[in-house]
Amino acid sequence: MGKKKRSNQLLLLVGAGILIILYMVYISYYHSIMEQAGIKDDEPAGSYKYQFDMIVDRPNSAFWQAAYGSALNTAEDNEILLEIKGPDWETEYDKNDFMNMSIAAQVNGIIVEYNGEAGLEEKINEAVENGIPVVTVMSDAPKSQRQSFVGVSDYQMGTEYGRQVASLVDGNTREILVLIKRNLDDMNQSMIYTQINNAALKKAGQGQRIEVKGRNLLSGGLFDTEEAIRDIFQQEGGPPDILVCMDEETTESAYQAMIDFNMAGDVKIIGYYTSKNIIGAVKKELIPVTCNVDTSQLGIYSVQALSEYLEEGRASSYYRVDVNFVTKDNVE
């Protein structure tokens, strides 16, 4: 009987040892992927009331750095730790992976840019079910369990872009190409594309045939976007008369391609955002107009939405961000 007891005790000790080893391996793996993703995990937890993660496609872009800057100021004023992270050319992780990391770290809230990626809506729901409120930014996931959406509705964006397209349509306009990065099976499902198409056809003269096309540039990196844009400028029959860009990277690539192929004046680019390079092109009248989303509001409202939900148990479902268009007449 004594031998059996000692044998059971030995088995318990071995089992406990195995559990400890597995836990240490898990912790080592967790810190390893956090380090590879460029995420610091050494902040003193007691220094902050909450910890929020901002997960976006291009965390190093001028647009998201501006939004993060305003969000960070708001977070610091409210004793909140805020980190920005996301896929880029330095890591193999996608937004689903970063959502997994944030859920595993049990952050208090997540701000995520949603573009319809496969599995991301499920990750939003998983976070909420684990007690982590989620705010979507710029593009919404209305069928998910997210708490709030901060940005510009597709209807509003499409209407605003439609006005700009109509202002550039003239008697020589034959083709308009709308470039969108969104996971859509059918471009016609996009309210943005529909509004632009309606505005262009309404402006066209009687008997004038204008073809409005849409193309989805949802891709894994900036290099793919650059290649897609260069293909558009080299296509048989030439580039479109009006090229509508819906993000900063696409605008920068389109502008560079126009310069490289010496097509300034042949293509009217409707741009997005007001980076130094894009504003310079507007001043030179190489880009007639560019969309400017208020990144300050975007950052502030995102943090406020999460804070309000955590403090009061509820928050507005939609925080509208201002949009305006910059031309040579109002660029200063």
pTM: 0.81
d(CA 172, CA 204): 10
Average pLDDT over every residue of 111-119: 91
Whether the CB-CB separation of 329 and 286 falls below 8 Å is answered with no
d(CA 109, CA 258): 42
Q: Dihedral sign, CA of 217, 218, 222, 227?
A: negative
Average pLDDT over every residue of 199-214: 89
Residues 226-251: tens digit of each pLDDT:
999 999 999 988 899 999 999 999 99
Who wins on pLDDT, 277 or 23? 277
d(CA 230, CA 268): 15
On the question of pLDDT at 148 being above 60, the answer is: yes
Whether the CB-CB separation of 229 and 202 falls below 8 Å is answered with no
Radius of gyration of the chain (CA): 24
d(CA 114, CA 276): 26
d(CA 332, CA 326): 9
Who wins on pLDDT, 332 or 22? 332
Q: Give exposure, 234-249, as e/b (b: 16+ Cβ within 10 Å).
A: eeeeebbbbbbbbbbb
* Joined tokens for residue 201: 């056809």
d(CA 241, CA 239): 7
Which of 42-46, 141-145, 261-265, 277-281 is the least confident region? 42-46
d(CA 67, CA 59): 10
pLDDT of residue 262: 95
pLDDT of residue 46: 54
On the question of pLDDT at 254 being above 60, the answer is: yes
Who wins on pLDDT, 268 or 332? 268
Angle separating helix axes 95-104 and 2-36, nearest 10 degrees: 130
pLDDT of residue 141: 92
d(CA 186, CA 72): 37
On the question of pLDDT at 261 being above 80, the answer is: yes
Q: 14 pLDDT band (50/70/90 cuts)? A: low
d(CA 285, CA 169): 16
Residues 72-102: tens digit of each pLDDT:
999 999 999 999 999 875 678 899 999 999 9
Q: Which residues contact 279 (CB under 8 A, 6 or more apart)?
A: 290, 326, 331
d(CA 95, CA 110): 12
Q: 39 pLDDT band (50/70/90 cuts)? A: very low
Angle separating helix axes 295-312 and 62-77, nearest 10 degrees: 40
Q: 64 pLDDT band (50/70/90 cuts)? A: very high
Residues 165-178: tens digit of each pLDDT:
999 999 999 999 99
Over the chain, what HEC string results? CHHHHHHHHHHHHHHHHHHHHHHHHHHHHHHHHHHHCCCCCCCCHHHCCEEEEEECCCCCCHHHHHHHHHHHHHHHHCCEEEEEECCCCCCCCCHHHHHHHHHHCCCCEEEEECCCCCCHHHHHHHHHHCCCCEEEECCCCCCCCCCEEEECCHHHHHHHHHHHHHHHCCCCCCEEEEEECCCCCCHHHCHHHHHHHHHHHHHCCCCCCCEEEEEECCCCCHHHHHHHHHHHHCCCCCCCCEEEECCHHHHHHHHHHHHHCCCECCEEEEEECCCHHHHHHHHCCCCCEEEEECHHHHHHHHHHHHHHHHHHCCCCCEEECCEEEECCCCCC
